[in-house]
Structure 1
Amino acid sequence: MQQQRQHPLSANEGGYFGITVPVLQLFAGTLFLSAFLLFSVQPFFSKLVLPKLGGSPGVWSVAMVFFQSVLLLGYAYAHALTRFLSTKHAIIIHALVLLSACVFLPLGISSGWDTPPATYQELWLLGLFAVSVGLPFFAVSANAPLLQAWFTQTGHKHASDPYFLYGASNIGSFASLYLYILVLEPGLKLGTQSLFWTAGYLVLVIAILLCAASVLRRPQTTSSEPNATAEEVGHAPVQRITSRQIFVYLGLAAVPSALTIALTAHIAVDIASAPFMWVVPLSLFLLTFVIAFKTKPLISVDFLSSILPFAAILAAGVIFLPKLLPLTFGLGANLLIYFITVLYCHARLYQLRPHASQLTAFYLWMSVGGVLGGIFAGLIAPNVFNWVAEYPMLMLVALFLLPLKNGATASTAIKTILFGIALTALFWVGVSRGWIPEIEGHEIVVMSIIGLITLAAVVQVKWQAVAHVLLILTVPLVLLLQLHPSVVHTERSFFGVVKVKDTDDGTHRRMVHGTTVHGSIAMSAFDADVGKGSPEPLAYYHETGEMADTLRAARASAGTGMDHVGVVGLGTGSFLCHSLSGETWTVYEIDRSVIDVASNPAYFRFISDCGPDTKMVLGDARLTLEAEPDGKFDYLLIDAFSSDSIPVHLMTREAIALFFSKIEENGLLALHISNRYLELASVLAAVAEADGYSIRFAEHGAIEGETRPDQVFAANVMVFARDETDLGPLLDNPRWNDVRSNGTALWTDDYSNIVGAIIRHEFSGE
């Protein structure tokens, strides 16, 4: 019988154990899985670390810097493998790296990294990430450029221009983020998530080995020597990336990276520091790669160039005039501005991509730019600026990256710049002479000047001059905001921006963190003839308020009088003015800047007049309270929200158990949970139901028609007791009611659901 002739596999197929696999699908699927794992580990592990630093939004900023830095190392490693080694040797080394990373699986926090220092938290976090997930993340991070480089050797019809695979891999990144916030985070505990990631990693290793096999089994059409030139392999010479190109690549990659961190910090401070809030900007970041890195881009660079200046002008209004805009509009506008800017940068990067022979070098320089942007926004800016100045600055730098069009010349640009300088100087003269009135502050005037300069730019050189003029205006704008007469003091730390501001009528002074007031004092308390006394606590801490109710109930429960009171979250220190003789108060505060501001009698008088000897403990509440003896407090108040950011780790079953271990048998635990976005009462009710605590909840607006004094705010407060009788006067107070979980899942250190809390809040009609 005649033997059938065996046909070799086509360039578009690979065979494994008798199974034919399309090469393009194999590489695309492997890149998808690699990207999926790369970006799912970031929110997962950051959430795991978050409680170590009090739920600070800075955790995600530092995490972004770390992951970008390791991504750079991965890209440099991939570039070195393709540049200096043969494909066979590169495959062997990468296989060893992938297998070595298995030692760190399943992922978790390494031993010896339990307690962060009081200072240099950023460096400590970088070390924690490095020893815990550094090698696995490094191994996965190299796959995108490495697999694309290998794909060029498969002989596939698209092998000459594999950049489209980078856009395809970002679909995996995009999918991983939304699958994480919609399915993994609300449905799986952190330990289970780690096991799933481990399983995915093992599948990835197998897939990469199959990709390697598809390259090795094909006849070599290129030199196996790593440094073979284009002429040696029979192709036309290919020009290497120039220094000018490198500079452009760095700028176009740095701006999106830095903007991502700056915008994420803004959102996390005002809503919640949790994966759901981190994912929104990052997913838009990845989506721009999907849109831009295509053979036929969905949106042209020319169109983006034309609308980017409009986005910058809108950004000026959103950033400098937040009071005049609805919160939801401001948030949406920020995301839109961010998306347009990042999409332009990435589309421009793709437009300027080099030949495929320079692929790994191109990705390497992109990664360098990303790291530089991340370092600026995540590490440098928080330590240089006392407000989030990097956000508007980065928007202006993005304008500088626009290509010159419409006949713009150096001379016309200089004329427009000089015109802008003249207007700015005139403005400052007007402010110093008092010619310009303070109508809603100076921001309206600033916007008017921006509008005039924009108009001049359009008339003279179209949009290109806008970049020059607005960039020059950045410094005076920053100075203007800092010199605003209502801002007495601004201080920025790892945990956010704290401002001391006087009200517009000059009658009160407030501490503001983000968008939330953390205390208020009447300016009359600073009058020379007042002397040392007890300033009246205002805001949420007035004697008629909910937290004062819980303190009186605790005193009633103690009977003979309380000995020890604990307060987590200092604010202005106004709650100290409720202290009585014989009571010892201890305050736990994670942010040194809050202590410094509140303790300064030039800003606030509560600590100096009511509690000069109060013990201040610096650090995260859970970590510092663990060191206290059991049964120490008769009353413990948890008032640790930063702006509207929710410290999730202080609301879990384990956290409540820790708090009660430090409270006397008949003592009370109160939690201040006022915020604008999340429904949290049912979360705490679920803990009470699980462990048998008695609770009461006071919700603002619970008593219809209730009026409060000026500068006194209603609060949402939950109070816990071991026995209902310990709640005393709260049981008969119409402001305080029982509450049920209504099926809300129990939050633990291993599980929480921010998305569900947001949805419940929206449907509650609050």
Structure 2
Amino acid sequence: LAAWAAIAARGGAGAIEHDATPAPTWVQRGYWMAGAAVPSALSLGVTLHISTDVASAPMLWVIPLALYLLTFVIAFARGTEKIGAVARFIHPVALALLVVSYYASSEWPLSVALILVGFFFSALVCHFALARSRPAADRLTEFYLYVSLGGVVGGAFAALAAPAIFNNVYEYPLALAAACLFRPRATHLMPRLQDASFAAAVAVGVVALVLAPIGPLGATMVMGALGAAASMIAAGWGGGDNRAATLRYAALAASALHALVVLYVAFNSGSIFTHATGANAFTIAQPWGAALMATSFAVLVFAVHATVQPRTAAGRVVDFAHGVAIFSAVLLLMLILNAKRLDAQFLTVTSLAICALAIFLNRGRPLLMAGVVLAAFLMVFIEDARGGRIITQERSFFGIMRTREVPASGGSDGPLERILLHGTTIHGAQLLGPELSRLPLTYYNHNTALGEAILAGLLSGERSRLALIGLGTGSTACLMRSEDELTIYEIDPAIVRLSARPGGDFTYMSQCQPNARVELGDARLRIAEAPDGAFDVIVVDAFSSDAIPAHLLTREAVALYLRKSSERGVVVLHLSNRNLALVAEAARVARDLRAPTLHRVNGRVNTPYLYGGLSASVMIVARSPETLAVLPLASRGEWRVLEAPPGRAWSDDYINVPRALWEQLSGAEDCWRNPHRCDAPR
């Protein structure tokens, strides 16, 4: 239609503008595309992280999208040049805090806030770079075309290519590092300190890749020896030090003495370091502890003093050596000051703090800043993989799935235990060995609230039919009798392949319920196809990295479960969640349906195994109070009838995720379940 209108108009050719702006080069076009692609890919990476670790609800992915669009508005508005300078200053600070936030994951609101701040300023830096590169008005159409195309390319890479290429969310740190490349270069008052901090960050990567497998003590001592050698090189490099001769010779002497002390301690570590009260706790024999502390501190002082001096003709080699010496001296000091708490996590936190400082100091050198960001995330990913052998790691539409094998008793002796992790949440575990492999673990232990509820529902009849929404490792199969029937509803094909198919990582299903039926797809849609009254027990345990899909806990969903349950049937809701107050929401739904409920929260079950019995919050819903009254619950005295709190229940038309977030954060749900804890006089 547009072409026909143009032809029909028969308009004459416009006047040729002889002073038109020259066409942009392909390098400029590529820059425009890259500047738009990086924040687009980054926004999807941030959204994936938040939506899998908080809740799979639209409200939450709107936040990164809104911040992404806001950066466009700010960057392309008139008169925002001063804002751009402020954003470029805050950007490295935000990235440094983002890196450190990986060890604030237990405080998820703080962690998510820092991640969003880091994303916001990274996207803002990219969009300000695009705004600065805008051509004249007669080329703006082409400019915005390539910006739009870049956004599509970035989004397509994160959504389509990255899941096929990577088995983890590696595009997220890659996009953060790429955003650093759009910062303008700037001079620094202390360029030698910049080089030293970059070398220290590279040493962090060496520790992560090469030295971490030998343990925190071994890694610290090897890094200490390397740092002592680097300190000797820096102190003895000809022409590399413009300080007074007295200081130069003092630095050389301190480096030599430090090297001797480190080498002696390293070769005699068996007698100098002795285990204290824990596997990672040490005591240090004197006077070697005092000598190591004194020489490490001296090397640290001399190295820092050298890097704040003006640059000399010696180039960067001396400064890189100083950086390695600084990092090793810090590690040795931390070893001595925290010998009673020395572990791999402490080593990682110290390394990330070094990287955070290096990110800020190298803010005027985009390439080096990007390298430090990658080094920090390398440490994060290696630390995440620490603590056992990874058997399987896959990435699907539903998140990151990992099977890890660890010693079941925490030591080298005893059986091994396989753990299924989906994101950051444990989805089940299984002991290896013919005598132990049928024992349900984690939330499904016989003595947990979930295990007890499932057993009670099964034992209410001579033969029971169970529907399991969410397969996990398939532990539920070994709670059942051979005459019971199991139907599984699972949406993730990867989980089915690992837990219900021959050759998978877990064998609960093949050992205890080999004839179980697996229905692949959305559980709510698939269970709706079953006949009414088809099941005696329906277990709703559909997690995705600690996030329950909200449509499985609405009034209509629970009504569907009750309709599919038999006269003696029960619905078991596993409501354990770090972030959302799901017990209160489930109670409101049951109130509207006039369905009786029982609720129990159990503490960790004492077993000889690492993940033998985890804490679980479970609600049993039935058609009638009589059904609940005759359930053979082993610890009936711990099951309580909860009166639903006020508020509108979740439905397919109304899902109030902010309320669930707030009630969990504020402790309102805990007060509702345990009013005696909150009845203290004001």
Calculate the TM-score normalised by the size of structure 1: 0.62
1:299–1:605 CA distance, 2 compared to 1 (3 A): farther
The match for 2:396 is 493
Would you say the 8 A contact 1:639–1:672 is kept in 2? yes
> Cα distance 1:369–1:228, how it changes in 2: closer, same or farther (>3 A)?
farther
Query: 3-state SS of the aligned residue for 2:443?
Result: coil
Structure 1 match to 2:52 = 269
Q: In the alignment, which residue of structure 1 is the partner of 2:492?
A: 591
Structure 2 counterpart of 1:577, from 450, 455, 478 = 478
- Per the TM alignment, residue 667 of structure 1 is displaced from its structure 2 partner at its CA by 1.0
Give a deviation string over 1:346-401, Cα, whole Å, max 9, x none: 22222222222333322221111111111111111122211111111111111122
Displacement of 1:252 after TM fit? 1.4
The 3 A distance-change label for structure 1 pair 413 and 543 is closer
Number of the residue aligned with 1:381:
162
Structure 2 residue 132 is the aligned partner of structure 1 residue 230:
no
The answer as to whether partners of 1:246 and 1:365 remain within 8 angstroms in 2 is yes
Does the 8 Å contact 1:402/1:464 carry over to 2?
A: yes
Aligned to 2:24: 241
Give 1:621's match in structure 2, choosing from 507, 523, 531: 523
Task: Please tell me the root mean square deviation across aligned C-alpha atoms, in Å.
Answer: 3.9
Distance 2:144 2:626 in 1: 66
Which residue, out of 441, 447, 454, partners 1:551? 454
How many residue pairs get aligned? The number is: 533
Alignment partner of 1:611 is 2:394: no
TM-score when normalising by structure 2: 0.69
| Per-residue deviation, 1:692 | 3.2
Match for residue 625 of structure 2 among 720, 724, 748: 724
Kept after mapping to 2: 8 A contact 1:586/1:615: yes
Against the structure 1 CA distance between its residues 332 and 700, is the aligned structure 2 distance closer, same or farther, given a 3 Å change threshold? Answer: farther
* Residues 180-231 of structure 1 deviation map (CA, whole Å, 9 limit, x = unaligned): xxxxxxxxxxxxxxxxxxxxxxxxxxxxxxxxxxxxxxxxxxx986865434
Question: Hey, what does 1:536 align to over in structure 2?
Answer: 439
| Residue 739, structure 1, aligned to residue 642, structure 2 | yes
Structure 2 counterpart of 1:338, which letter? F
1:651 aligns to 2:553 (yes or no): yes
Residue 696 of structure 1 is matched in structure 2 by 598
User: Which residue type is aligned with residue 429 of structure 2?
Assistant: S
Q: Is the 8 A contact 1:457 1:466 kept in 2?
A: no
* CA distance in structure 1 between the partners assigned to 2:641 and 2:619 by the alignment: 10
2:559 corresponds to 1:660: no
What letter matches 1:539 in structure 2? T
Residue-by-residue CA offset, 1:510-561 (whole Å, 9 max, x unaligned): 222122211133xxx324xxx2565321221111111223223324543xx1
Letter of the 2:161 partner, please give it: I
**C-alpha distance 690-723 of structure 1, shift in aligned 2 (>3 A):** same
Letter in 2 for 1:254: A
Structure 1 pair 500/544, CA: closer, same or farther in 2 (3 Å)? same
Match of 2:432 among 522, 526, 537: 526
* 8 Å contact kept, 1:317–1:447: no
Question: Which position in structure 2 is the counterpart of 1:286?
Answer: 69
Offset at 1:585?
Answer: 1.2
**Counterparts in 2 of 1:743 and 1:224: CA distance versus 1, 3 Å:** farther
Q: Which residue of 2 aligns with 1:563?
A: 464
For residue 444 of structure 2, give the secondary structure of its aligned residue in structure 1.
coil
1:672 counterpart (571, 574, 594): 574
The within-5 A match list for 1:469-480 is 469-470=371-372, 473=375, 480=382
Deviation per residue, 1:479-505 (Å, 9 max, x gap):
846864525132111111112234583
Change (3 A) 1:385 1:631: same
Structure 2 equivalent of residue 517 of structure 1: 426
Question: Hey, what's the Cα distance between the residues in 2 that align with 1:680 and 1:454?
Answer: 40
Residue 131 of structure 2, aligned match among 340, 344, 350: 350
CA distance in 2, matches of 1:384, 1:450: 30
Match of 1:632 in 2: 534
1:704-743 per-residue CA deviation (whole Å, 9 max, x = no partner) reads xx96546322222221211211112479823222233333
Q: Which residue of 2 aligns with 1:177?
A: none
Out of 145, 148, 151, which is 1:364 matched to?
145
Which deviates more, 655-664 or 604-613?
A: 604-613
Whole-angstrom distance in 1 between the partners of 2:459 and 2:539: 16
**Distance across 2 between alignment mates of 1:760 and 1:725:** 32
2:619 matches 1:715: no
Structure 1 residue 414, shift from structure 2 partner: 11
Q: Percentage identity across aligned positions?
A: 31
- CA distance in structure 2 between the aligned counterparts of 1:716 and 1:426, rounded to whole angstroms: 40
User: Aligned with 1:760: secondary structure?
Assistant: helix
Deviations 1:417-458 (A, max 9, x none): 999778856875545777426965489359638837975995
C-alpha distance 281-443 of structure 1, shift in aligned 2 (>3 A): farther
Q: Would the alpha carbon gap of residues 326 and 466 (structure 1) be closer, same or farther in structure 2, given more than 3 Å must change? A: farther
Q: Secondary structure at the match of 1:371?
A: helix
Q: Does 1:333 align with 2:333?
A: no
Contact 2:33 2:147 in 1 (8 A): yes
Moved more, 623-632 or 364-373: 623-632
Which blocks of at least 5 consecutive residues in structure 1 are unaligned?
1-76, 94-222
Distance (whole Å) between structure 1 residues aligned to residue 213 and residue 644 of structure 2: 58
Distance 1:450 1:306 in 2: 19
Classify 1:556/1:480 alpha carbon distance in 2 versus 1 (closer, same or farther; 3 Å): closer
| Partners of 2:560 and 2:542 in 1: CA distance | 16
How far is 1:257 from its partner? 0.8
**Contact 2:194-2:361 within 8 A present in 1 as well:** no
Does the 8 A contact of 1:695 with 1:720 survive in 2?
yes
* Contact preservation (8 Å) 2:455, 2:479: no
Q: 1:452 and 1:270 mapped to 2: Cα distance?
A: 25
Structure 1 contact 457–465 (Cα < 8 Å) conserved: no
Deviates more, 1:723-732 or 1:689-698: 723-732
Shift of 1:641: 1.9
Q: Specify the code of the residue in structure 2 equivalent to 1:316.
A: V
Say which SS state the counterpart of residue 467 (structure 2) adopts.
Answer: strand
Instruction: State the one-letter code of the partner of 1:526.
Output: L
User: For residues 479 and 748 of structure 1, what CA distance do their matches in structure 2 show?
Assistant: 39
- The more displaced of 242-251 and 599-608 is 599-608
In structure 1, distance between residues paired with 2:156 and 2:393: 23
Contact 1:693 1:722 survives alignment (8 Å): yes
Give the SS at the match of 1:758.
Answer: helix
Matches within 5 A, 1:98-137: none
* Correspondence for 2:80 among 276, 294, 297: 297
Partners of 1:226 and 1:679 in 2: CA distance: 67
* Contact 1:622/1:650 (<8 A) preserved: yes
Question: What is the letter of the counterpart of residue 694 of structure 1?
Answer: P
Following the alignment from structure 1 to structure 2, what is the Cα–Cα distance between the partners of residues 581 and 339?
A: 55
Q: Secondary structure at the match of 2:637?
A: coil
Residues 532 and 609 in structure 1, CA contact (< 8 A), matched pair in contact too? no
Give the corresponding residue for 2:34.
251
SS in 2 for 1:734: helix
> What's the CA shift for 1:294?
1.8
SS in 2 for 1:436: helix
Asked if the contact 2:441/2:475 (under 8 Å) is kept, the reply is: yes
| Cα deviation code 1:145-172 (max 9, x no counterpart) | xxxxxxxxxxxxxxxxxxxxxxxxxxxx
